[in-house]
Amino acid sequence: MIEQVSANRSHGGTQGVYTHQSSETGTPMTFSVFVPDHAPGAKLPVLWYLSGLTCSHANVTEKGEYRAACAQAGIIFVAPDTSPRGDEVPADEGYDFGKGAGFYVDATQEPWKASFRMRSYIENELPALIAAQFPADMGRQGITGHSMGGHGALTIALRNPNRFRSVSAFAPIVSPLACPWGEKALEGYIGADRAAWREYDACALIEDGARLPGLLVDQGTADNFLGEQLKTGLLVAACAKAGIDAEIRMQEGYDHSYYFISTFMADHVAWHAARLA
């Protein structure tokens, strides 16, 4: 069961925010869904958007500028939260771990493993809920995301090759094995065995044989995190070696913010729409 928190008309559709009690996290979880107007009984393709560090469903919902493009293409847009929330959920003082930083993994370490199950939440629980509650054609799904959410989109798609027809990302963390954000998150949630991290690293998954049907990535050249955390070049090399059809665009002068994301969001929606038709 879901509870509607809000609903607003926008661009010939309805932007809703919803909450439900998650069996995976053991907490209430909030997500947003934009549903374009459609014929009675029609089923629409679904585009998932996974957000980055410190974000919730609200960031892209308020600043992503996706609704006009989704309405034109007839695509449902789903934006989950990035972690469990609530006083009973363990907290960490850093912005890059704990609440707001679930990293789309299933934690195995205490005290995180009870509620930090964002992989299973995104891969299993929430899709079943979307299929049951919205006019979604689950045979036509695409996935995208930003930064930590780009990492989530890439790794979830690579682990579920028959689920997603289209995959894209904005400034993704492409190799958590090779950056401070990823090392902190994966050791904290998964433990010190780096071999166990590979299923949460896009470049490692590609090296280990996973494939994508195609890929669109936009990355700003003025992104403060490009060199130390994002390392886009590793993904370029991995896709080239594996023969993955990847369009990885370096966008001159753009940073890591929603000014960047909103600029290229319509391009991504159109790119997904062509593959979800």
Q: Which residues are tagged catalytic?
A: 147, 223, 256
Bridge partner residues of 17 (DSSP)? 6, 32
Asked whether 27 and 84 are in contact (CB, 8 A), the reply is yes
- Among 262, 270, 225, 248, which Cα is nearest to 154's? 248
* Residue 197 CA to its chain's centroid (Å): 18
Q: Residue 9: phi, psi to the nearest 5?
A: -75, 135
Give the alpha-carbon dihedral of 191, 195, 198, 201, to 10 degrees.
60
Q: From CA 46, how far away is CA 70, in angstroms rounded? A: 10
Cβ-based neighbours of 170, under 8 Å, separated by 6 or more = 144, 145, 146, 147, 150, 217, 218, 219, 260, 261, 264, 268
Judging by DSSP bridges, how do beta strands 13-21 and 3-9 pair with one another? antiparallel
